[in-house]
Structure 1
Amino acid sequence: MTISFSACLAAAALVLLIFLRRYDGDRRRFGNAVLLGLCSLLLLAGSFVALSHLHRPVTRTVAAGVAVGTAVGAMAIAGFLLANGIRMIRTEGGRPANLLSLLAGAAILGTLGLLAAAAQVDSGLLRAVATTVLFLAGYLCFLFACFVGYAALYQQVAVRRPVDFVVVLGAGLTDGSAVPPLLASRLDRALALYRHQRARGRSPDLLVSGGKGSDEQVPEAEAMADYLRRRGVPDSHLVQECASTSTEENLKFSRELMERLRPGSSCVIVTNDFHAFRAAVLARRAGVRGEAAGSPTAAYYWPSATLREFAAVLATYPLTNLGAGGLVCAAGVWAGWHG
């Protein structure tokens, strides 16, 4: 079966229309990211088909260049992730969440090694395993590209509409009671949004959300409120939610508090940039009326944090990803045995 350029273009246009309609309805959907990625993939496929029709030898050269570039790029990314993982451990400690860059880099190198071995050894089983791993890696890489690309697009959404609350999601405290730089970045962004709203005649409250961890002396919300109070926010504009222990609880308990204080209220949710899109996805699922805004994060922290957020988003849709992953693995086994 030959796929035409016009068919790819028509499919891309249809997917784009669906994306635009869903994006206009609610920006906070991971499905939007997948649709935008699929549209881009169809356009790339269509371009390649058009090139093959115009000049087949050039197409083979381009395909070979893409294959080599992908392999070299994968090795470069693996090296970067390994180096970043080592820095994360040295800077932030050896907690499991800080190992993600290191593990991702090792996984990429392992996949490349498995593919090289399958190309050298005449074994149907090894070929099937390698092809399955390759297909699954491709599926995850596609979703990760969708996640990163759409999260960057989502961050460009300016918070202009009036809101009743500026909600700040908590993070761990330093020495049990002090606001660390990561959390201070969120609070500073929230304070800027709060002042922006007040400068335009609105009167939002700052709602700080975060409970007391086992290694903390005070609830995160209390430390956050003190930080904002020292920067001129009056107590009458500060609301504390001191019971939550996760992002899901941050949003659930904050919604309940906002509904009690101002029924039907809207908000903007402030967190770090790597966390903003997942916070928006969870806010939608929790019934919170509001978009998420991100504050800057140290560059070395971003890769590991983004991988963590991506894994958490995948876990938010377990049945979808298990089903799709199973189909991808089945396709890989079939292609490996019959290739």
Structure 2
Amino acid sequence: MKILKNIGLFVLGIFLVCSKLNVYASEIDYGADVGWLSQLEAQGYSWQDENGNTRDVLDILSDHGITAIRLRVFVNPPSSFEWTKNDGTECILGYCNTTGLLYMAERAKNKGFDIMVDFHYSDHFADPEYQDIPEQWKDASYNELVTYVYDYTYYIMNQLAQNGIYPKWVQVGNEINSGILLPYGSSGNNFQQLAGLLNSGYDAVKAVSPSSKVVTHLANGQNNATFRWFFDNFLTEYNGKTDVIGMSYYPYWIGSSFENNIDDLADNLYDMADRYGKEVMVCEVGGVESDTNGTYELLQAAIDAVGSVPESKGIGIFYWEPEGNSQALPDGYILGTTTMTGNKNLKFTSALNAFKESYDK
């Protein structure tokens, strides 16, 4: 009887742990960054559901368990919405100026999605390699840039508010490991100025939409040392303001299978929540479009990592541009989740089922 009792207690314990994880999973937002979408649509691309019917891609994403849409905004992108990187790679930016943001935000709102707005504070993509000052701001001093960040952020937030849109989250900067508005906001050379710029954006967001959670977003979510260094400086040393710590996680760009570093991501999510008392999320994740099973397993593992953060502090995970396809993009980006089913017809792979299955728990 004692053995049976112990077995029963063990099973009960496993059940409670699993139930706890499922409670966390049900509270997570499952998101998609679709910044390329309107530009791809303008080029004639369409998306089919599992039955082969052409439908609004946002509806298809909803069918796959997506609950939130992430939209980026550039200050003054080229009128062609194309950009050539330093290595000669040509890419499209998406219609991500103010007008394009408002159009997509309204569209997402009308579909019932939560919304994340991602300020790049540049005329093109910002990431650890590129944090270029917008052309209109290039002659500004640091103090002027602090004002520009506030005024621009306030303007965009106010434009959204006038359309009844109050984003659930707002990123002040995108993958800002190296800082923003370089060289003035360099994390390596002048963290105090970086904190000042980020706090200016934070204050502008809250002035328009106090309920919006401000996200501070770094790349390489598997690298705990980088995150501790950055947030020890930002939060502890220089009194930075943020509500959520966000991270990107791309095993493909790391050059390793997710099995080799998913525990590092999970540990980092836990550590950021525990060390700083902040909510945490994966703002960007992606796997190779042709490796459907591998991407599905990657997403399941990343969802589990977010959902396992104690006290429900793991709040969301966003796939970056799942609607994309390497044949549709000039840079051949291969981390979408679609296949080409015909001339400019795309269909999502079963990799996205990881979101739906987690959402349905």
Bigger strand fraction: 2
TM-score, with length taken from structure 1: 0.30
TM-score, with length taken from structure 2: 0.29
Which structure: larger Rg? 1
